[in-house]
Amino acid sequence: MPFKTYSLNLKGRLVTIDRPWVMGIVNVTPDSFYSGSRVTDEKALVERIQSMIADGADVIDLGACSTRPGSEQVDAQGEMARLQWALGIIRRVAPDVMISVDTYRAEVARRCVEEWGADIINDISGGTIDKDMFATVASLRVPYVLMHMRGTPETMSSLTDYENVTADVLEWMARRIDELRQLGVSDVIADPGFGFAKTLEQNYEMLARLEAFHALNAPLLVGVSRKRMIYTPLDCTADEALNGTTVINTIALLQGAHILRVHDVKAAVEAVKITSLVRENGPIDTTTFIR
C-alpha cells in the first residue's frame, strides 16, 4: 500500500515522516526483558547512543521502568532519577537527536519534557494507568505515542478476552485518540501494543490485519523487537530472535508502518531500505502473502 506522510510538531520544529523511521530502544534499568538493551553506566550509554545514531536511528526511546511481568517496579522518584541522569548524557553527546521517553507517569513525562529535553512521550498504558497523562501531554504540546494495553504489566496476560482483537483494539484506540484530539493533542502516534494483553495468536491476527489501523489517521508504530511472540514459535530465546524480528518488521513495513521500535537499529534500517526499494518499483499487494 502507498506510504502515507505525516508531520509532527517537536516544540515548534516541524518534522515530516515521509519514510519509515527507526526508533532505537535504550533501557536504563537492571531488568528489562532483553539484556542487550540495558545500560547502567555512562560509558555504555554513550557507546550505545553513538552506535545507534551511526546505524541510522531516527529516534532514541529511553525507558527507566521495566514493564515485563515480574520486573522490579521502581517508584516515580527512582524512575525520574534514572531518566534525568540518562537524558543529561544523551543531550550532551547528541544534542539534536529526537528522544522519546517511555513512561506511563504524567509527572515523569512533564519533568522529562520541561526540564531534561525529551521530545516525545511513549505511554504503554494509553493513559489508563495515570489519569492525568492526557491533560499533561496536552499542556506539554508534544507528540504522544498511544499504545493499547489492558490492565497493568502484572495483570495483562490474563486480560486477553476479545470478540475480535483487531476490531476491538482499533475501536479502543479510535476512542482514545478522539479524547486526545478534543484536548488539543494533534500529534498522536498509534501503537497497537503487540505482546501487551494479547495471546500469541492474537498478535499474529493483528499483524495480518495491520493495514486496518491506518483508519486511525495517525502514524503507526510497530514494536515487536525480540518479543515472546517471536521467540516462542521459533523455540529460541530473545537473544536469538533478531531474524524473526526482521521478518515481522518487513511485513509491517509492507503494510505501511511509519515507525519501527527496535533493539537492533542496523537490521531495521536495512529492512527499511530494502522495502523502500520494492515500494519505489511498483505497487505492493500484501494480500499475496498475508491471509
Please classify residue 121 by burial: count the beta carbons closer than 10 Å to its beta carbon, then call 0-12 exposed, 13-18 middle and 19+ buried: buried
- Residue 281, pLDDT score: 83
Residues recognised as catalytic: 227, 261
Q: What whole-number distance in Å separates Cα of residue 42 and Cα of residue 85? A: 9
Residues in contact with 2: Cβ distance below 8 Å, sequence separation at least 6, in sequence order: 256
| pLDDT at residue 200 is higher than 60 | yes
| pLDDT at residue 32 is higher than 60 | no
| pLDDT at residue 258 is higher than 70 | yes
Contact between residue 206 and residue 180 where contact means Cβ atoms under 8 Å apart: no
- What does the block give as the cell for 50? 553513538
Residues in contact with 76: Cβ distance below 8 Å, sequence separation at least 6, in sequence order: 105, 107, 108
Please classify residue 252 by burial: count the beta carbons closer than 10 Å to its beta carbon, then call 0-12 exposed, 13-18 middle and 19+ buried: buried
- What does the block give as the cell for 150? 489492558
Q: 233-257: per-residue pLDDT in tens?
A: 999 999 999 999 999 999 999 999 9
Residues in contact with 38: Cβ distance below 8 Å, sequence separation at least 6, in sequence order: 27, 28, 29, 30, 31, 32
The reply to whether the predicted model has a pTM over 0.95 is: no
Please classify residue 5 by burial: count the beta carbons closer than 10 Å to its beta carbon, then call 0-12 exposed, 13-18 middle and 19+ buried: exposed
| pLDDT at residue 37 is higher than 60 | no
CA-to-CA dists, residue 225 to 7, 65, 91, 258, angstroms: 25, 18, 25, 15
Read off the pLDDT of each residue in 204-217 and give the average, rounded to a whole number: 98
- What does the block give as the cell for 118? 525529551
Name the CATH code of domain 13-277 (choices 3.40.50.300, 3.20.20.20, 3.40.50.460, 3.40.50.2300): 3.20.20.20
| pLDDT at residue 13 is higher than 80 | yes
Contact between residue 99 and residue 87 where contact means Cβ atoms under 8 Å apart: yes
| pLDDT at residue 291 is higher than 60 | no
Quick one: CA torsion of 110, 113, 114, 117, rounded to 10 degrees? Answer: 150
Q: 47-99: per-residue pLDDT in tens?
A: 999 999 999 999 999 999 877 655 567 889 999 999 999 999 999 999 999 99
Contact between residue 31 and residue 78 where contact means Cβ atoms under 8 Å apart: no
| pLDDT at residue 124 is higher than 60 | yes
Q: Find the length of the chain.
A: 291
| pLDDT at residue 230 is higher than 90 | yes
Q: First-to-last CA distance in the chain?
A: 16
* Local confidence band at 36 (pLDDT 50, 70, 90 cut-offs): low
| pLDDT at residue 274 is higher than 80 | yes
| pLDDT at residue 267 is higher than 70 | yes
- Helix (H) / strand (E) containing 177: helix 165-182
The 3-state secondary structure of 98-124 reads EEEEECCCHHHHHHHHHCCCCCEEEEC
- Residue 279, pLDDT score: 84
- Residue 70, pLDDT score: 54
- Residue 283, pLDDT score: 67
Mean pLDDT, the chain, as a whole number?
A: 92
